[in-house]
């Protein structure tokens, strides 16, 4: 508050308008200045027409018209500068208004998040996650146990089973081999079970000698 305001009693400072109100005022001012521009442009066209009309007939009137045209052009130039300034102010306020809305939204979201976290404890959350992981491990173990078939006869010797399988394969191979042989080859003679009687070779040689002596005597 200035010294004169203190002495003579100044008015209380008015509350600053909101960004929305300020933007609306600037837009209204812009519209008013634009209308003023249109009016000045028309006046400039009229003064040019007067100067042309009186250029040869009334030189003084023509010069006065050109002077008025210059003033209108200067006012028009000032309005152009003012409109540029107002436009920049309005854009700045609109940006500030947008930032304010964004910040308010972020503040509301932050408050909501803070309120939600008030009912949570970090340690409790970690404990809950540990419990969930533990229960998942238990469920996985149960699933694995159910999916594995029940084992019966695990005490059987694997080597013995391998040998038995080889014998079965050999029998099957022999059967296929016999099926490929001719039918005559399949009918083999039976092996005699009785012992064949044989004569002693010495006795046979003696009988042959006796027959030879008897032949010789008959020949004499």
d(CA 209, CA 214): 9
Q: How confident is the model at residue 185 (pLDDT cuts 50, 70, 90)?
A: low
Residue 205's pLDDT is 59
**Total domain count, the chain:** 1
Unique residue bearing structure tokens 């238990």 = 138
CATH number at residue 38: 1.10.287.1060
**pLDDT for the residue 12:** 58
Helix (H) or strand (E) holding 74: helix 59-118
Domain assignment present for 196: no
Q: Under a CB-based contact definition with an 8 Å cutoff, are residues 70 and 51 in contact?
A: no
**pLDDT for 194:** 57
- HSE-CB at 148 with a 13 A cutoff on CA atoms is 8
Answer yes or no: is 130 within a domain.
no
Q: What H or E segment, with its residue span, contains residue 10?
A: none
Residue 149 in domain: no
The 3-state secondary structure of 201-213, one letter per residue: HHHHHHHHHHHHH
pLDDT (tens digit, 9 = 90+) per residue, 130-143?
889 989 998 988 88
Does residue 74 fall inside a structural domain?
yes
pLDDT at 36: 95
Question: Range of 111's domain?
Answer: 17-119
The pTM of the full predicted model, rounded to 2 decimals, is 0.43
């Amino acid at each position: 508050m200035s010294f004169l305001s203190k002495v003579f009693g100044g008015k209380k400072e008015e509350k600053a308008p909101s960004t929305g109100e300020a933007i609306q005022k600037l837009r209204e001012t812009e519209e008013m200045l634009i209308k003023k521009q249109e009016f000045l442009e028309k006046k400039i066209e009229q003064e040019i027409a007067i100067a042309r009309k009186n250029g040869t007939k009334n030189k003084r009137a023509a010069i006065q018209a050109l002077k008025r045209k210059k003033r209108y052009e200067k006012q028009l130039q000032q309005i152009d500068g003012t409109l540029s300034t107002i436009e920049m102010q309005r854009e700045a306020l609109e940006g500030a208004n947008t930032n304010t809305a964004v910040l308010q939204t972020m503040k509301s979201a932050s408050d909501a998040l803070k309120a939600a976290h008030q009912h949570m404890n970090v340690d409790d959350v970690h404990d809950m996650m540990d419990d969930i992981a533990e229960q998942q491990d238990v469920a996985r173990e149960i699933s694995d146990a159910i999916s594995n078939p029940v084992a019966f006869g695990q005490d059987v010797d694997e080597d013995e089973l391998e040998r038995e399988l080889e014998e079965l394969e050999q029998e099957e191979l022999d059967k296929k081999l016999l099926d490929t042989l001719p039918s005559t080859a399949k009918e083999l003679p039976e092996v005699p079970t009785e012992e064949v009687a044989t004569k002693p070779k010495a006795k046979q040689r003696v009988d042959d000698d006796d027959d030879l002596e008897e032949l010789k005597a008959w020949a004499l």
